[in-house]
Chain A
Amino acid sequence: MGELVLSKLDKVYRSKRTSVHAVKSFDLTVKPGEIVALLGSSGCGKTSTLRMIAGFEEVTSGSISLDGRVIHTLSPSQRGVAMAFEAYSLYPPLTIGENIAFALKAARLPAAQQQILVKNIAEMLEIAGILNRYPSSVSGGQQQRASLGRALVRKASLYLLDEPMGQLEPQLRAVLRGRIKHFLRENNCTTILVTHDQTEANALADRIAVMEGGVLQQYATPAELKARPANLFTGAFIGEPPMNIFDAKITAAAREIRFDIEGGVSLAYPVSDFSPDVQRLIAGRREVALGIRPHAFHIGNGALRGKVISCQWLGDQTHVAVDIGGRTVVSVSHARVDKQPGNEIGLSALAADLHIFDAETGRAVAHGGSPA
């Protein structure tokens, strides 16, 4: 229910020999009741950020406030924050049920009420049957759900979930994702979720903060991240399979705009496919990075011609890898494509599906026909 504001947050880990700048001048605002995912590869600073919010790591500089209250100087117990740990961190001598009731006991809730709360959360997470067992005697997935339950069972201003579903089997993950999202919505819980799984971030989060090298790359809704990546990193990071990125030379003539891609192939579009703003943005440039998502390709007789390297039908889509001018380009079709390695094919993409990035800074210039 709280509003979380991180401003100019920095974290530097210093040891005798080295220092690592894990989080760099990180700004983030999470609105009350909003679910935000911190998404990034391992070592991108997302867990450090989470631990600073929880109070397990000191803030090197910057500030954290929750509901207008500066919390980064408080001890973890005073912050009003609940957390589910990636490594579960259940207390071994207590049963699963006692572990979940941990914080309720600290809050001195009546025993009967504790029991009801624990039972409800356990039913939602499908661990009601193991409440009397000890952590060491249940599976990793069950321990993870217990850890999640321990965080969700209590009232807190902010919920921090560190890779909350990493150990669950796919079917259960899909079911629980829905239930947890519903639960967080219903209770208007402000939540920060750390994950490296895009599907999970997309499914649960209202907004996603993409991090890399300790720097916030983009903070936007899942749809916006996919349609309008702010830079090359987000463009390449979001989406599965990843976006194809070409170094291209632009030639803007009176009627058409042509992208010459290394290897002697080119894509040409009528000028009218691009808005006047984009035309102006492109006009001054010679070189750009051109991004095209695998799903955006049309497989057939397009201008990007090359030899098929592999062609796999996955049951609902075909992944075709094509060698174009010496580099591998991946395309996805929802139809079945029957091609053998070595066959010649051509790919094409609409101007509306092009992502144009600055060749040097990597910053987005235009998405489809409109400016970034």
Chain B
Amino acid sequence: MDHTSTFERILRGILLALVVLFFMFPIFWILLMSFQTNESILRMPPSVFFTPTFDNYIALVTGEMRTAAGSLQLNFMQNLWNSVLLSTTSVAVALVLGVPAAYAFARFKFRLGEDIAFTLLSFRFAPPLLVLLPLSLYFKSLGLTNTYIGLIWVYQLICLPLILWIVRGYFEDLSPDIEHAHRIAGYSWFQTFRKIAVPLALPGIAAAGLLAFIFSWNNFVFALVLASADKQPVTVGALAFVTASGIQYGQIAAAIVMSVIPTFVLAMFAQRYLVEGLSLGAVKG
């Protein structure tokens, strides 16, 4: 039953539109910028009317940037691939390690359990710059500088605590008796973990995985210091657009649009699980 008047509904619509406009405007503007040349972006006053061009995207995909000062090689597609590879592998590794660990922390009380969990969380307290210098020295002597494995390892500092703490909360919210019922029916500990605990905590795992992916994707400083151009992700690669002859705003915008797409698609995909998990509801009985 809807008791709101037409006036209220219109007002609500206008207010909602304003809020959406406010938050979405930068993204909308970037989308527009990506279809413009540097000249039309920088003209005063700015305008939403322009002749669209795909030059920015073509430059990114072909890897050749033409500026007033001449032609420059771009590594953008390699950077994008690096981002995808580093983020997905890091999150996958963190899930494999973090979900069973989260389950252990949630279900079993053991010596130093809380201390270990807190230590893992404390990795997030330290600013990355603090650990970078010693880390880069270690990496050099271990031969991990400029390797995917080295970066994925460092990315665990970002992903693992996040997944561990979020998923642990989800496991703690599940009634242990559901698992007990499964175990007493004749299933082993691992079968119960796989068939009961993990599916029921899936919304939490999806949310944590998504967040970890976003954080890894947006990481800048680790890859900047510990890797060189061929292993660096888009966040670092974007520095290339600041050239001697000026900043390539159009290409930066196009690069942003392209680098947002994978995260966006993943979020859409994960959202299904998030909603599905919530609608199961009443897990506690």
Contact B185 A89 (CB under 8 A): no
If A89-B180, A92-B281, A103-B185 are given as contacts, then 14 extra A-B residue pairs at C-beta distance below 8 Å, sorted by A number, are A54-B184, A75-B188, A76-B183, A81-B184, A87-B175, A87-B284, A88-B285, A89-B178, A89-B181, A91-B178, A91-B181, A92-B200, A102-B182, A154-B185
Measured in the bound complex, the distance between the Cα atoms of B35 and A152 in whole Å is 68
Chain A 76-89: CB-based contact to B (< 8 A → 1; otherwise 0): 11010111010111
Pairs A-B, 5 closest by C-beta atoms: A103-B185, A89-B177, A106-B186, A76-B183, A88-B285
Q: Residue A135 at the B interface, CB < 8 A?
A: yes
Contact A91 B196 (CB under 8 A): yes
- The answer to whether A106 and B185 touch (CB under 8 A), given A88-B285, A91-B196, is yes
Q: Residue B282 at the A interface, CB < 8 A?
A: yes
Chain B 163-201: CB-based contact to A (< 8 A → 1; otherwise 0): 000000000000111101111111111000000100110
- Shortest beta-carbon distance from A73 to chain B in Å: 15
29 sampled A-B residue pairs with Cβ under 8 A: A55-B184, A75-B189, A77-B183, A82-B184, A83-B180, A83-B184, A85-B180, A87-B175, A87-B284, A87-B285, A88-B285, A89-B175, A89-B180, A89-B285, A90-B178, A91-B181, A91-B182, A92-B282, A93-B199, A102-B182, A103-B185, A103-B186, A106-B186, A107-B186, A135-B282, A135-B285, A136-B280, A147-B181, A154-B185
Residues from 182 to 225 in B contacting A, C-beta threshold 8 Å: 182-189, 196, 199-200
Q: Residue A56 at the B interface, CB < 8 A?
A: yes
B181, B184, B284 pick with most chain A CB within 10 angstroms: B184
Q: Which A residue sits closest to B279, measured CB to CB?
A: A136
Interface positions of B (Cβ within 8 A of A): 175-178, 180-189, 196, 199-200, 280-285
Q: Residue A143 at the B interface, CB < 8 A?
A: yes
Measured in the bound complex, the distance between the Cα atoms of B175 and A56 in whole Å is 13
Q: Which residues from A are CB-within-8-Å of B186?
A: 77, 103, 106-107
Measured in the bound complex, the distance between the Cα atoms of B185 and A82 in whole Å is 7
Q: Which residues from A are CB-within-8-Å of B280?
A: 92-93, 136
Q: Give how many A residues have a beta carbon under 8 Å from the other chain's beta carbons.
A: 28
Q: Which residues from A are CB-within-8-Å of B199?
A: 93
Chain A 123-163: CB-based contact to B (< 8 A → 1; otherwise 0): 00000000000011000000100010010001000000000
Measured in the bound complex, the distance between the Cα atoms of B185 and A77 in whole Å is 6
Measured in the bound complex, the distance between the Cα atoms of B178 and A91 in whole Å is 6
Q: Which residues from B are CB-within-8-Å of A106?
A: 185-187
- The answer to whether A150 and B181 touch (CB under 8 A), given A93-B199, A106-B186, is yes
- Shortest beta-carbon distance from A237 to chain B in Å: 27
- Shortest beta-carbon distance from B94 to chain A in Å: 26
- Shortest beta-carbon distance from B217 to chain A in Å: 31
Q: Which B residue sits closest to A77, measured CB to CB?
A: B186
- Shortest beta-carbon distance from A15 to chain B in Å: 9
Q: Which residues from B are CB-within-8-Å of A54?
A: 180, 184
Q: Which residues from B are CB-within-8-Å of A85?
A: 177, 180-181
- Shortest beta-carbon distance from A82 to chain B in Å: 7
Q: Which residues from B are CB-within-8-Å of A91?
A: 178, 181-182, 196
- Shortest beta-carbon distance from A276 to chain B in Å: 54
